[in-house]
Amino acid sequence: MSLFGLGGDDSAAPGFVRTLVPVMAFTLLCGIVGPIFLVVYFLIDDPTAGWMFYAGLGITIADVVIGFLVARGVYRGKRRRYELEQSGRLAIADVMSYEQTNVQINDQPVMNLTLRIHGGGVAPFDATKRVVVPLMNLAALSSRRLVVLVDQYSGEFEIDWKRTALVSGAVPARFTDTDTGREFDLSGQSDALLEILRVFKSNDIEFGGTVDLRSNPVARRQVMDIVHRIGRSESDVADLTKSPPDPPRSTGQRLAELEALRGAGNISDAEYQTVRNRILDDL
């Protein structure tokens, strides 16, 4: 089975140290003037350079504090997403309205969304959320349907843009039945794809790229039951697009066409007699 255009691994539990190190390195790089002042102060012997020590120390401490606070925020977001991935429900969020904020983060728009969340065993509720919308998912807002992970007890939720891209048809979803070799295309079949995503989640299967389910016969059977129920194989589609064959002509029709050809002077008497005999021999 192939779910092209998707990737990433959200199954590993986030660690604070793994989050802190790259954030701290980036912060110190941006505020590198602080460590530079400290290095220069200790390398030169100049009594008038005392200001470099205090300035460098202050900037470096500020870098560390900022890096720590940013890393803590990033870690909390990752931890919340991880917990929702483990225990949350996959539901649908109908986009009731959305509006631009004229703010962008990494060239991606920040938008205010008004959502109605339902399905997946979650009691329906309305919510508003200010989110960064990936550019590839802007079309999903027009289709007014997003996939969300919901804590059914607290109502906390996160928009799952990766799954949304699949369900909205932004990326293709093709499936191959390895028993028969038949291929099915469920791209844009949102209800069926959401069913399949729930099967993946309940079986702790990561999706993205090409997924081989032969090692998990239970999940494979569940997925292929959905595929066979909803999908239509590419060979079936090709058969449907073929023009039906012309019905065979009767002997009378063939003789009439032959007479018309001779009457119009398109064939000679000898050709007429040869074809007429052949038609009569087919009786």
- Looking from the CA of 34 toward its CB, the CA atoms found within 13 Å total 14
Give the Cα-Cα-Cα angle 127, 130, 133 (nearest 5 degrees). 115
pLDDT confidence of residue 2: 42
Out of 34-38, 50-54, 260-264, pick the least confident: 260-264
The pLDDT of residue 163 is above 60 = yes
Give per-residue pLDDT as tens, 238-263. Answer: 554 555 556 676 777 777 887 777 77
Q: Which residues of 15-54 are buried (b: 16+ CB within 10 A; e: fewer)?
A: eeeebbeebbeebbeebeebbebbeebeeeeeeeeeebee
The pLDDT of residue 9 is above 50 = no
Q: Mean pLDDT across the stretch 142-151?
A: 88
DSSP H helices, 132-283, are: 138-143, 161-167, 190-202, 217-230, 234-241, 251-263, 269-281
Q: Which residues contact 161 (CB under 8 A, 6 or more apart)?
A: 134, 137
pLDDT confidence of residue 247: 67
Cα gap 248→192, rounded to integer Å: 42
pLDDT confidence of residue 169: 80
Cα gap 34→66, rounded to integer Å: 13
Supply φ then ψ for residue 108, to 5 degrees: -115, 135
Q: Mean pLDDT across the stretch 31-53?
A: 86
pLDDT category of residue 118 using cuts at 50, 70 and 90? very high
Between 232 and 176, the higher pLDDT residue:
176
pLDDT confidence of residue 244: 58
Q: Which residues contact 199 (CB under 8 A, 6 or more apart)?
A: 205, 219, 222, 223, 226
pLDDT confidence of residue 58: 93
pLDDT confidence of residue 148: 92
Residue closest to 85 by CA, chosen among 22, 176, 9, 16: 9
Cα gap 200→166, rounded to integer Å: 13
Give per-residue pLDDT as tens, 62-116. Answer: 999 999 999 998 888 888 888 888 888 899 999 999 898 988 888 889 999 999 9
pLDDT category of residue 124 using cuts at 50, 70 and 90? very high
pLDDT category of residue 1 using cuts at 50, 70 and 90? very low
Q: What is the chain's Cα-based Rg?
A: 33
- The strand pair at 89-105 and 157-159 is best described as unpaired
The pLDDT of residue 42 is above 90 = no
Cα gap 255→93, rounded to integer Å: 68
Q: What are 146's strand-pairing partners?
A: 93
